Amino acid sequence: MALAVSFYDVVVWIHVTAVVVAFGALFAYPVFLAVNARAPLAQRAALHRAQIAFSRRVTGPAIGVILLAGVYLATDAKLWGKAWVGISFALLLVIAGLGSTVLRRGEERLEATADGGDEPGYGAALATVRTWTAVTLALIVVVLFLMTTKPF
């Protein structure tokens, strides 16, 4: 019995799996940040070191897989003329940019202020990270909507 799975189907699976790997943990960050903010300041830096390591070692490479698989899928299916593809592609670049700049710098500042015992600095950095995490999550949800509904 032959499998009824095409190469395109495998690439769709890779694409979706990479999305879950790249962004799944980010949806838990608001909870992690809230719980961590109640811990003694000296203990908070460990979470932020883990966030930074995860971003560098997992999220960044997974975004590369999302991008490569998405380019293949859009090219193979001749979808580049569809607005939902172009918008999703542009938003992926924005999301990646936010993660590698604003969020990364914020996480590094959270780590540094926690290590340095700077509670006011930590509070300011936390507010910034929470805001940009919410913006990033909203953009991810928009892309998920576009990718699943293909509205235009």
Per-residue pLDDT reduced to its tens digit, 117-129: 999 999 999 999 9
Burial environment of residue 142 by CB neighbours within 10 A (0 to 12, 13 to 18, 19 or more): middle
| CA-based torsion, 78, 84, 90, 92: positive or negative | negative
Q: Quick check: 60 pLDDT over 80?
A: yes
Q: Please give the model's pTM, rounded to 2 decimal places.
A: 0.93
In a domain, 5, yes or no: no
The angle formed by the CA atoms of residues 53, 36 and 34, to the nearest 5 degrees, is 110
Measured distance CA(9)–CA(81) in Å, rounded: 21
Q: Which amino acid does the sequence have at 48?
A: H
Give the confidence band of 19 by pLDDT, cuts at 50, 70, 90. Answer: very high
In a domain, 141, yes or no: yes
* 43-50 average pLDDT score: 97
Q: Quick check: 1 pLDDT over 90?
A: no
In a domain, 41, yes or no: yes
In a domain, 11, yes or no: no
The angle formed by the CA atoms of residues 13, 18 and 20, to the nearest 5 degrees, is 100
In a domain, 143, yes or no: yes
Q: Quick check: 3 pLDDT over 90?
A: no
pLDDT at position 2 is 73
* 40-54 average pLDDT score: 96
How many structural domains compose the chain?
1
Structural domain including 129 reads: 18-149
pLDDT at position 56 is 96
Alpha-carbon dihedral 92, 96, 98, 102, rounded to 10 degrees: 180
In a domain, 2, yes or no: no
Q: Quick check: 103 pLDDT over 90?
A: yes
Q: How far apart are the first and last CA of the chain?
A: 38
In a domain, 4, yes or no: no
In a domain, 3, yes or no: no
